[in-house]
Structure 1
């Protein structure tokens, strides 16, 4: 028995730790689509920490409220009880302007009328960019208790809370903590 523990003990301990982490705490996810461009791109691989709580600007995985069989990756914008407004591409929460630095790259391209070039891979996206007057359409929503308001970073083409509604706590699957693929774009998210 001592020989078995000596030879296999460390391996079995590491294997058990990996299984416990995977089952109870961590989930690998693949990005599908372009709603989080340029922050996250189609095909990238992420690791999420399982949770049903989120803070403002966390990137989360969630079940889409209009189709619970679909998993989406979005950014938390509005927390329970808040009034979230967008007017002329300025986010306001409970009457206070809130900067969105993660949008700067695409906002700059949009302002210079160059975002359609980024969308060369999809003619429908190009047409949207060419005809849009704002990067994010104006809206006002009051977030119900125990729910979140989420948006994709690529606001012109993202299907998010503006379309499928608020996200219940129970629909939140996890918080993105690490992009591990492609290796040259590895990043830890706070």
Structure 2
């Protein structure tokens, strides 16, 4: 029987090559396709809770009611909010009913619980024109609101979100495992 000599240099080089390729693929996916994000705060409760870990798609086409992650217009942080108005849309809130382009929408995702028994509305009445001085959402912009309207700092406060500020769309809740969810809620 002939003993085979193992070339340790070739073997180590082979492992290093696999590790380097794996790191490049993972970093490339994170940079261009998807990334994990940790939710901070209560503005999207009950859809997301503080410290939930979500996976964000960076290649999704943004549609009404998607939850998007974007660069805050007021601080160096990422925010997560729900897209209510797309470019060209009119948006109005009247007696806690959302109207987009004149059509009423039921918002099952909104947190309607409050500690204040005198709280009549979860979302104050507004029209885009009165709120932000424009009748419609501008081109390449979005109007966003949090699901926990009483505790959300959103487009009602800082205005429209530029499409260039959008980091991606939430696709998957992965942690804690009890909150695991695929798709939009």
Q: Structure 2 residue aligned with 1:77, among 77, 84, 104?
A: 84
Question: Deviation at 1:144?
Answer: 1.2
For these two proteins, the number of residue pairs brought into alignment is 169
Write the distance in 1 (CA, Å) between the matches of 2:147 and 2:89.
20
- Indicate if the aligned counterparts of 1:52 and 1:172 stay in contact, CA closer than 8 A: no
Gaps of 5+ in 2: 1-8, 129-135
Q: Which residue is 1:17 aligned to? A: 25
- Indicate if the aligned counterparts of 1:179 and 1:185 stay in contact, CA closer than 8 A: yes
Are residue 154 (structure 1) and residue 161 (structure 2) matched? no
Q: Which has the higher contact order (CA 8 A, sep 6+)?
A: 1
Q: Which residue is 2:64 aligned to? A: 56
Q: Which residue is 2:121 aligned to? A: 134
- Structure number with larger C-alpha Rg: 2
- Residues 70 and 8 of structure 1: CA distance in aligned 2, closer, same or farther (over 3 Å): closer
Are residue 46 (structure 1) and residue 46 (structure 2) matched? no
What is the TM-score of this pair, normalised by structure 2?
0.81
Write the distance in 2 (CA, Å) between the matches of 1:155 and 1:38.
11
Secondary structure at the aligned position of 1:47 is classed as strand
Choose between structure 1 and 2: higher helix proportion.
Answer: 1
Write the distance in 2 (CA, Å) between the matches of 1:52 and 1:146.
15
Gaps of 5+ in 1: 110-114, 117-128
- Residues 13 and 50 of structure 1: CA distance in aligned 2, closer, same or farther (over 3 Å): same
Question: Deviation at 1:179?
Answer: 1.1
Tell me the alpha carbon deviations over residues 154-185 of structure 1, each in whole angstroms, 9 at most, x when there is no partner.
01111100011000111111111111110121
Question: Deviation at 1:93?
Answer: 0.8
What is the TM-score of this pair, normalised by structure 1?
0.79
- Indicate if the aligned counterparts of 1:52 and 1:173 stay in contact, CA closer than 8 A: no
Backbone CA RMSD of aligned residues: 2.1
Q: Which residue is 1:125 aligned to? A: none
- Indicate if the aligned counterparts of 1:64 and 1:164 stay in contact, CA closer than 8 A: no
- Residues 10 and 17 of structure 1: CA distance in aligned 2, closer, same or farther (over 3 Å): same
